[in-house]
Amino acid sequence: MQTSIKVEGMTCGHCEKAVKGALKEIDGVQEVHVNLETGNVDISADEKVSEQEMAEAIEEQGYDVVS
């Protein structure tokens, strides 16, 4: 499954690392690509991983999930 989540508040490489790390800790997440300019986070994951679970992992790092 491929999904894209729009995130607000990521400004630098540290933010990118924090979001990537949090998502990759979820069992079933394979690939995470962060675009700092657009705030888009593209994720490849197993079907069992819910969008909600991924959004929560991002929010726990202190960033806002827009969609």
Where along the sequence are the contacts to Cu ion (CB under 5 A)?
11-12, 14-15
Give me the least distance between CB of 9 and Cu ion, in Å please: 8
Cβ closest to Cu ion, residue 15 vs residue 26: 15
**Nearer to Cu ion (CB atom), residue 15 or residue 43:** 15
The distance of closest approach from Cβ of residue 32 to Cu ion in the complex, given in angstroms and rounded to an integer, is: 16
- How far is Cα 65 from Cα 47, in angstroms, rounded to an integer? 20
Instruction: Quote the CA–CA distance of 58 and 51 in Å, as a whole number.
Output: 11
